[in-house]
Every structure is written in structure tokens, then in C-alpha cells.
A and B are shown apart, each in its own frame.
Chain A
Amino acid sequence: MAISPSNEKFQTLPVYDSAQRGFAPLIELREIWRYRDLVTQLVQRDIAVRYKRSFLGVAWTMLNPLGMMVILSVVFSQIFHTIERYPAYVLTGLIAWTFFSQSTSAAINAMVWGGDFFRRIYVPRSIFAIAAIGTGLVNLLFALVPLVLVILVTGVPLRWTILFIPIPMLLLVCFALAVGMLLSTLGIYFPDIVEMYQIILLAWFYFTPILYPVDILPAEIQKWVKLNPMYPIIEMFRQPIYEGKLPTIETFLLSSGVCLFSLLIAFWIFVQKSNDFAYRT
């Protein structure tokens, strides 16, 4: 073939080589960046589809936690009458937990039932998990509106410590992404995980001090609860809003360490296994 001007363009075309050597997690990160618009699109789709046919639409993201809060307050405020302004207490924990449980479940579902995609077109596999967490994050931001409302109504003073909230939110995102990726890798091999996870979540919910304060537990059990990675995250989310207190440096560093470390491990495992996914689904 003659050397023509178009040949120059030809030489610069991107090349996909299955034998390409490289550090897989780094390659995946580059691919995620290249497909970043897809993340936005998937998040938009999930939010639009969920509310498209309902009359109140996106307002449900705010009404949902409020409804939960009302029910839980009616049921539990008598039991935990030592806690002042119980609705505000329970709602702060509940919002953080709901984000975690919904977005991890969505990530697993997208991977396990999204098989159709994997057989038809290449997209970076982790995109689905990331988009699921992204959707959860948007819902979490919406849920902050009724939270502020409840704070004002119940008379919890609005303090500057609330500005700390993006940090526990970030940790929550890291940890949810880690759990979502790890479980969706497992879920490709054992779809039963999807059902099992719902039960695990329920147990996990009661094992985390969300409805109750940690100090009602016997010291013996408190030790164990403090090993639960969700415990410090929920506390860091709740305390700045509800008590106007910042977490201690140790709590903050330890929890950040746990979240980042689990994310790194989960991402690494996910990337190692992701070439297998098309064979399995």
C-alpha cells in the first residue's frame, strides 16, 4: 500500500492488544476516565427511570427517609427516651445507612443481571459499580434536605461542624464501592449472593448503632461493635450534625485507613477477575 497522508493517521490509531502488558488496575482507571460520561449517563438513567412514572417524582427521595423516620420514631422513641430529639438522631444514621445498603445492592444487581451488556459490548466492567454508587450519592444529597428540615424543627442547633459532613460521605462512598465490587465479583460466580446479601444487610443494620446509642450495649458487645467498619463512619456522619462534635483524629485516621484499604483490595480483586466475567454470564 502506498504511503499516503492518510497513512500517517493510520499509524496513530489506538491499538487494542490482548497480550498488552501493563498494571491492570491502572489500565482500568484510565478506561474509567475515558468512559466518565457513561457514568453520568447511567446515573441520570437510574434516577429518571425510578421516578418517571410516579406523580411526585424525585420528591420521593426526600419523602422516603422522612417516612421511615416517622415510623421509627413512633416505634422506638419510648424505648430510647434517654435520647433527646430522637427523630434527628435516627434520621442522621438512617440516611447514611440507606445510602450504603441501597448503593451496594444496586451495584451487585447491575453486575449480576447486567450480563447482556458484557456479551455485546466492551465497557470498563467497574463502570456499573461506580454508577450504582453515584446514583446512591445523588439520592443521599437529596436526603440531606429533609435532614436539615428535621434538625430545625426538632430544635437541634445548626452548627458549623456540619461542614465536616463531606468527609464521612467520601469515606462512605469508598467503603460502599469496595463492598459493591467485592460482592459483585463473588456474585458472578454465585448469583445466590444477591439474595444472601439482603439478609446480611439486615443483620448488619441491627449490629450498627443506628436506632440505638452504642452505650446501651454491654461493654462486652461494644468491643465487637467497634470492629464494625460502618460504626465509625455512621458516628462521624451523625456527631457533627447531631451533637456538634468532630470525631477524634484517631477515629478519623483509622476509619479512613480501613475504607481506603478495602477499596484498594476490592478494586484489585475485581480487576483480576473481570476478564472472566464474559465467560460466566
Chain B
Amino acid sequence: MMQQDEMIRLENVTVRYRLPQEQVRTFKEYAIRRLKGKIQNIEFLALNNVSLSVRKGEVFGLIGPNGAGKTTLLRLVARVMYPSQGRVIVRGKVAPLLAMGAGFHSELTGRENIFLNGAILGFSRREMEAKFDRIVEFAELRDFIDAPLRTYSSGMVARLGFAVATDSAPDVLIVDEVLSVGDIAFQEKGLTRIRQFREQGTTIFLVSHSMSTIQKMCDRVAWLNHGEIIKTGSAKEVVAQFETAMDSKNS
């Protein structure tokens, strides 16, 4: 079971995608191939026997090249995916920033979208009413809140999504390259908010390709490659090793 101050725990987690060699999209095709014994799946291990543990208040980073399994790991923690093998335990309210703006509809107004997005994030109507003014304030969209979302710029949409997702401090915050939201000023505001969460004891799970962000923010880092953890340790140590490995590969 979980230890006292553990927030996220993965025990020997494997995620196995089955990729059909050729896409079989119709019944007829499926039936024919099935009869001929021609359904062959390539197994693809997105994560292979991964174990890790994140304690309360930690900022935990994931690094690794594209396709290493970082996003799959985030999805497991966000409960979007279910492990093929192994066990995932997460304590507390999770705010996945990968769900920023999920369900936004361009024909609805900013106001309507706030309530819809809030419900998707698992908040009740009453909770959203209490949050509403703060969200609008933070997103700096007071004048546009009753205009349909299709009239917003992409930066405005991103600001609204971020504001809804981060209005109240979650127990676990999942961040996937989110810091590229809106303009520089808003990015700074977003970072400040994430830092505040951290001070309040929120556990942060962060994926980034920017080593400077990782080093600035993270306490501990796991380096993922081909679905396996190469190394877990302090941010400085792991990033240094990762960069050396990447350099030697590139040269």
C-alpha cells in the first residue's frame, strides 16, 4: 500500500498497445482476416515495468526523447488510461493541464464554456458559480465573457482554459509543456500561479523538453527512454547525464 506521504505511486506498470499490422476498420475485412487467421498484432510497449513514487509537495519531472512514453505516463496518472499490467495509485484531486480547454465549443460564450469545462473537470455547478469571477479575472476576459468563443484569439482561448483548470489548488497538478500559454506576460502569471501551488503543498508532475525549466522547477527527475526508466534522481544529476547522453548520440 501507499506510504504516509506518497501522492503518486506506480508499481511495475506496463502499457501495451496492440497495433494491428494493417488497419482493419470494417466488419467484413475483420471477418475475412479472422477466418484466414491473418489478424496479427504488433505489440508495442509504451511503458515497460515502470515503478516510481512521488511524495507530497514534490515537483517531479519527466524527461526523455519523443516517443519515450512520457505522455502515456501522464495519462495513467490522470486516469485517462488504464495500465495493461501493474498498479497506479494517485491520492487527492488531480488537475491535469493536458485537459486544458477540454470540451470548449466555439459557438458557446466564454461564460457557458467556463461552466461546461468546469463540469468536465469534475466541479459542480455551485462550485463553479463560486469560482466564476476569479476565473474571469485571472484570464483577463471580463469584456469578452459573453461573446462566443469563436470570436476569441487563440491566446484568449488558452488563457481561459488555463484559468479554469488552475483556479483552485489541486492536490496533484499534471503539467505537459503548458508554459507556452498566451503571451510572455501571461506565461509569467501562469508560472507564478504554479509556484504558489507548490508553496501550498501541491504535488506537481511535469513533462518538458526544456531542460532549463526542468532544472528550475523540479526536485526530482525521471529519465524515460523507450518506455523504461533509465534513471531517477535529483534534477541536476539526471539532467546532466541525460544531456551528456544526448550530446554523445548527436555527435
A residues near B (Cβ < 8 Å) are 1, 6, 10, 13-19, 34-35, 37-38, 40-42, 44-45, 48-49, 52-53, 116-123, 190-192, 275, 278-279
Contact = CB atoms under 8 A, between A and B. Distances in A.
Contacts of B90: 15-16
Interface of B: 2, 4-5, 17-18, 25-27, 30, 56, 75-76, 78-83, 86-94, 96, 98-99, 102-103, 105, 107-108, 112, 115-116, 119-125, 148, 171, 201
A15 B112 contact: no
28 contacts: A1-B4, A1-B5, A10-B91, A15-B89, A15-B90, A16-B79, A17-B87, A18-B82, A18-B83, A18-B86, A18-B88, A38-B122, A40-B125, A44-B116, A45-B103, A45-B116, A48-B108, A52-B107, A52-B148, A119-B75, A120-B78, A123-B120, A191-B25, A192-B25, A192-B26, A278-B80, A279-B17, A279-B18
Give 10 nearest A-B pairs by CB, closest first.
A121-B99, A122-B79, A38-B119, A275-B82, A41-B119, A13-B92, A18-B88, A19-B87, A120-B99, A16-B90
A123 to B, nearest CB: 6
Given A1-B5, A53-B107, A120 B96 contact: yes
A122 B80 contact: yes
Given A1-B4, A45-B108, A121 B120 contact: yes
Nearest to A123: B120
A123 B103 CA distance: 12
B89 A16 contact: yes
A190 B26 contact: yes
Nearest to B46: A279
Contacts of A122: 78-80
Contacts of A49: 105, 107-108
Contacts of B123: 37
Contacts of B92: 13-15
Nearest to B201: A6
B103 A117 contact: yes
Given A15-B90, A15-B91, A16-B89, 18 more contacts: A1-B56, A13-B91, A13-B93, A15-B89, A16-B90, A16-B94, A18-B82, A18-B86, A18-B87, A34-B122, A37-B124, A48-B108, A121-B96, A122-B78, A190-B25, A192-B25, A192-B27, A278-B75
B58 to A, nearest CB: 12
Contact of A48 (B2, B75, B94, B112): B112
A131 to B, nearest CB: 10
B96 A190 contact: no
A10 B56 contact: yes
A236 B90 CA distance: 49
Contacts of B5: 1, 10
B122 A35 contact: yes
Contacts of A121: 78, 80, 96, 98-99, 102, 120-121
Contacts of A34: 122
Nearest to A18: B88
Contacts, number: 115
B187 to A, nearest CB: 21
A117 to B, nearest CB: 6
A210 to B, nearest CB: 28
Nearest to B57: A1
A53 B171 CA distance: 41
B16 to A, nearest CB: 9
A108 to B, nearest CB: 15
A219 to B, nearest CB: 35
B108 A278 contact: no
A278 B80 CA distance: 7
Contacts of B2: 15
B15 to A, nearest CB: 9
A45 B116 CA distance: 8
A118 B96 CA distance: 13
A190 B105 CA distance: 27
Interface centre among A14, A45, A53 (most CB of B within 10 A): A45
Given A1-B56, A45-B108, A117 B115 contact: no
A194 B75 CA distance: 27
Contacts of B98: 120-121
A149 B147 CA distance: 37
Contacts of A14: 91-93
Contacts of A13: 91-93, 171
